Amino acid sequence: MTSSEACCLCSQIAGDPGNDLIARLLPDVPYVRRIMHEDAAFAVVPSLGPLAPGHCLLCPKTHIRSFAVLDRSDYAAYTAMKATLRERLRDCHGGEIHVFEHGMAATGNRVVCTVDHAHMHFVPLPSGFDAGLDDAWIPFDGSLDALRELAGGAEYVLYETPAGAAYLLKAKASGIESQHMRRLIAGALGSNSHWNWRTAPDAAAADRTWRNFVGVVAAT
C-alpha cells in the first residue's frame, strides 16, 4: 500500500467498505464505520491483530509515513488524544496501557508492517508487564520534536511505558524486522504464534473492541 487511494486505514477512517479490511473479513455483518474516537486530525480504530482485548491504533487522518513527520500543528491534538485514549482504555479494560509505533523512514520504498500509514498502537496489558527491552533502545523525553530529531528520517520503533517513559530503537542499514514490537510483546505474553496480524487476523475481536469501547463511552 503506497498511497491514500490504496490504504486500508484511510478507507476505514473514511468509511469505505470496499477497502476496509475488518469489514471485508466480516462479510455477513452489516457495514459500520468502526471508529472508536476521533477529532479533526486523528481517528482511533481497533487493531485487526489484537495482542490483547482493547488493542487499538491511533491514526492521523492525513496519510503520512510516521509520527516522526507529523505536522507540528497537530502536536497538541496528539497529546490530548493520547491522554484521552489511555484513560478510556483503562476504564474499559483495566490494566496498564502500553504504546508503540514502527515508524517508516521518511523516504524510500520499504514498507514496514505492510501498511504505510502511520499508526500508534495502544495495548492494555496486565499491571507489571515488562516488554524486555535491551540496551539498544535509547531513552528520550517522548516528545514528538525529540522523536523527529532522534529518528533523523530513518526507520525506527518507538515504545512508551504506562508511566510515560519513552524509548527509541533506530534502524540499522538492514532495517528492523517487521512487526518487531508485536513480536516482543507476544513473546512476553507467551503468545508467540499470534504476533503476525497478516497471518492471524481476528476481525471478530476487532469488532468486539470497537463495540465495547463505544458502549462504555456512551454509558459514561
CA distance 160 to 218: 28
CATH of the domain at 195: 3.30.428.10
CB 49 within 8 A of CB 200: yes
Q: What is the pLDDT along the chain (220 residues), one digit of tens a residue?
A: 344 457 989 999 999 998 999 999 999 999 999 999 999 999 999 999 999 999 999 999 999 999 999 999 999 999 999 999 999 999 999 999 999 999 988 776 766 666 789 999 999 999 999 999 999 999 999 999 999 999 999 999 999 999 999 999 998 877 788 889 999 999 898 876 677 777 878 999 999 999 999 988 777 7
Q: Which residues contact 3 (CB under 8 A, 6 or more apart)?
A: 63
What total of structural domains would you count in the chain?
1
Here the cell at position 149 is 530529531
Domain hosting residue 166, numbered range: 4-219
Q: In Å, what is the CA distance from 62 to each residue of 4, 40, 127, 180? A: 9, 10, 34, 24
User: For the chain, what is the radius of gyration of the CA atoms?
Assistant: 16
